[in-house]
Amino acid sequence: MSALLEFAIFPTDKGDSVSQYVSQVIEMIRESGVDYQLTAMGTLIETDTLPEALNIVNQAYAILEPHSDRVYSTMTVDIQKNKHNRLKSKVTAIENKIGKVNL
């Protein structure tokens, strides 16, 4: 199974730049060993199960919660049985049709 989860999470009471907080979340994701892709508006992760993906989101919240009275998050999930490596294969499928795309 493949659980693709795209999410953004950040404190809302820290001004215009929250990169010092978001970078702590990205470091946790990197150290977790899950496949991920950072984008300008959020992060995509791929895990074998939905609970694993949601655990990453819970850990992200646990990192931010001590620093903020309000944490905002958005999340989109795509779960598919009998599939793996979709973080890369979905992009490859498009590139096979139109050529290299910017990530």
In tens, the pLDDT along 31-49 reads 999 999 999 999 999 999 9
pTM above 0.95, yes or no: no
Question: Do the domain assignments include residue 78?
Answer: yes
* pLDDT < 70 positions in the chain: none
| DSSP category for residue 33 | T
d(CA 75, CA 6): 6
Q: Domain range for residue 23?
A: 2-98
What is the CATH classification number for the domain harbouring 83?
Answer: 3.30.70.930
Residue 11: what pLDDT? Answer: 98
Does 36 fall in a domain? yes
Task: Report d(CA 3, CA 82) in Å as an integer.
Answer: 11
Is residue 34 domain-resident? yes
Q: Is residue 27 part of a domain?
A: yes
Report the domain count for the chain: 1
Assigned domain for 103 exists: no
Close Cβ partners of 56 (under 8 Å, ≥ 6 residues apart): 5, 28, 29, 32, 34, 45, 47
pLDDT the model gives residue 103: 80
AA letter at 38 = L
The length of the chain in residues reads 103
